[in-house]
Structure 1
Amino acid sequence: MIGEMTVQVRVLDIKEGQQWYETFLCRKPDFIPHQGFAEWELIPGCWLQVAEGKPVVGSGPIRIGVLNIIAERERLVKELNIEFFTIHSREEVPVKWGTFTDPWGNRLGLFEYVSEGENRTS
């Protein structure tokens, strides 16, 4: 049985990377175990690790659930200067989603449940 999960992205400069992810996640890291490393617990038992190192281009995407994908896209384009990304949907899929990259080439994304009954982020 799985009890916890961590996902790691790498950035070339930890100070720059930590600041970018603080803005992306709207908060400071939950844990900085040592130099060159910062961690955010996104939901209980699910951690995003940002580590200094050579990024693995093309990995991911790591998708994060949000309540309003359009508002979050607008915020990220404005605050982090990411490229405007398309929000996709399909009738048979219960979410809308979109994908973008951080400045180091790590693929990230957002999703929003179409039906409020499905939403687990509220």
Structure 2
Amino acid sequence: MFTGMLGNATVSDLDRAEHWYGQVIGRGPDRRPMHGLLEWQLGPGFGLQVYCETERAGHSTLVIEVADLDAHAARLAEAGIEHPGIQPGGGGNILQLQDPDGNRIVLASGKAGPKS
């Protein structure tokens, strides 16, 4: 039985990533478990790790489900995080982001929007 999950995005510049991911998540990291690693607890049993490893940076994809995708999209736009807006995808709606290293971060809502 699985009891938790930590997704990982690999980056080339930890300070830059801390600022960007802090904007996306809305707060700073909860832990710094070791040198070069930031960690956010996003809910019971799941979280996000951002690890600095230059040679692997930019090849990660994370999908994070959120309760209010519209509010996240608006907050990110106000914070200067560019995105293409909410789109249908994955049986609901998604907001695709790209961190400064090119990692794909997808915020998802299980609730589908209006059909076109």
TM-score by length of 1: 0.76
Structure 2: stretches of 5+ with no match in the other structure: none
List per-residue Cα deviations over 1:91-121 (Å, max 9, x = no partner).
xx3x222322111111111112328xxxxxx
Figure out how many residues of one structure are paired with residues of the other and give that number: 110
Partner of 1:84: 84
Q: Distance in 1 between the 2:107 and 2:66 partners?
A: 7
| Structure (1 or 2) with the greater strand fraction | 2
- Answer yes or no: is the 8 Å Cα contact 1:82–1:102 preserved in 2: no
Give the partner amino acid of 2:50: V
- Answer yes or no: is the 8 Å Cα contact 1:24–1:76 preserved in 2: yes
Partner of 1:11: 11
Partner of 1:51: 51
From 96, 106, 110, the equivalent of 1:109 is 106
Structure 1: stretches of 5+ with no match in the other structure: 116-122
List per-residue Cα deviations over 1:2-53 (Å, max 9, x = no partner).
1221211111111111121111111221110122111011111112111112
Superposed CA RMSD: 2.1
Whether 1:36 aligns to 2:36 is: yes
Cα deviation for residue 88 of structure 1 reads: 0.9
Q: Distance in 2 between the 1:87 and 1:46 partners?
A: 25
